[in-house]
Structure 1
Amino acid sequence: MNNNGKTDYFNDALTNKAVVIKPGGGESFFMNGVRITFKVTSQLSHDQLGVYEIILAPGAIGAKLHYHRFMDETFIVNKGVLTIQLADKEIDASEDSVIYVPRFSPHGFCNNTDEEVRLTLLFNPSQNREDFFRGLYQTLGEQPIDPEKYLKLYNKYDSFPVDTSDMLPVRE
């Protein structure tokens, strides 16, 4: 609407809704050798985009082989070498690699090195991924881990293990 109370069909209404998340900013969780920090949240982006900083300790597993039905996932390796499992093969993705995983593409990721791995993880749309990570923090903090509870959380937030007998992010 313009000042006359009429709809302006020809000009954009500009607003400044930009947000700057500084280093160290954002809600963080640490579980099983993985630190997750929320940068751009579903709430902030109106569920369009989720941006998360992930730090994997040496030997840490981010996720076993799974897929999403309604989200695409992108990994940007900022430091170290990330091992990505894509369907039936593993790839070592070095620093500055970008791995785009569209929906229905089986994938998993871990750190098979002796060095820390830092990456930026993007979900599009984000599908309230933050609540998934909060639930994951709770579920993985319980010992022993309840596989049924883990699977229920996974399925609620658009994650589907390829093999439910090997879905927990732990090394045996």
Structure 2
Amino acid sequence: MEKQIKADYFNDELIDKAVVFQPGEGEAIRMGGFACTFKVTSELSNNQLGLYEITLPPLTIGANLHYHRFMDETFIVNKGTLTISVADRQVEVKEGGVAYIPRFTPHGFRNDSNEEVTLTLIFNPSMNREGFFYGLFETLSEQPVDPEKYLKLYNKYDSFPVDKSDMLPIRK
């Protein structure tokens, strides 16, 4: 005799899995004045969404021109003015502004001002992006920065530089 599995195919099971992060909450990693605070992680969202608060000190490059094959990226500027490179143009995104960058769109971002910039960065899907941030902090803290190690990290986490000779986020 077969075992019968009892299931309710007609009603939704409602479960409260909500997570709320107040300002200043979430795991933060820091290097100098640069900071990344994990808000909605890959684990929380089943890899569907990654939401991170980024702090860029004055005159700091977040990333040079690169693209993603499998995820979209959204920038929401919370404080200051963020300069975003999109293909061959530069756009200044002011406080309260949003920039949506679909996959296969070359883009980069930086703080060209003398003031700190804070932004919310969203990846969809997230593809374990936290690992990228941990690896980024490790790689950039080594001097000199190893371009091969940086590229390996980039590629593992769905980031592909447009120009490998200008991929490191270091002002010249």
TM-score for both structures, normalised by structure 2:
0.95
Question: CA–CA distance in 1 between the matches of 2:47 and 2:11?
Answer: 26
The two structures, once aligned, show a CA RMSD in angstroms of: 1.3
Question: CA–CA distance in 2 between the matches of 1:77 and 1:24?
Answer: 16
Using a 3 Å threshold, how does the CA distance of structure 1 residues 148 and 168 change in structure 2: closer, same or farther?
same
1:148 aligns with 2:112: no
- Alpha-carbon distance, 1:26 to partner: 1.4
1:132 aligns with 2:132: yes
- Alpha-carbon distance, 1:32 to partner: 5.8
Indicate the residue corresponding to 1:23 in structure 2.
23
Question: CA–CA distance in 1 between the matches of 2:30 and 2:164?
Answer: 24
Q: Quick one: percent identity of the two aligned structures?
A: 68
Give the alignment of 1:30-49 within 5 angstroms.
30-31=30-31, 33-49=33-49
Question: CA–CA distance in 1 between the matches of 2:125 and 2:135?
Answer: 19
- Alpha-carbon distance, 1:27 to partner: 1.6
The C-alpha deviation readout for 1:96-128, integer Å capped at 9, x for no partner, is 111000000000000001111110000000000
The total of aligned residue pairs comes to: 169
Q: Does the CA contact (< 8 Å) of 1:81 and 1:92 recur in 2? A: yes
Give the alignment of 1:14-93 within 5 angstroms.
14-31=14-31, 33-93=33-93
The C-alpha deviation readout for 1:74-111, integer Å capped at 9, x for no partner, is 00011110000000000001011110000000000000
Question: CA–CA distance in 1 between the matches of 2:31 and 2:66?
Answer: 19
1:107 aligns with 2:107: yes
Unmatched 5+ residue regions in structure 2?
Answer: none
Indicate the residue corresponding to 1:11 in structure 2.
11
SS in 1 for 2:154: helix
Q: Does the CA contact (< 8 Å) of 1:71 and 1:126 recur in 2? A: yes
Letter in 1 for 2:141: G
Indicate the residue corresponding to 1:164 in structure 2.
164
Letter in 1 for 2:35: R
SS in 1 for 2:20: coil
1:119 aligns with 2:119: yes
Unmatched 5+ residue regions in structure 1?
Answer: none
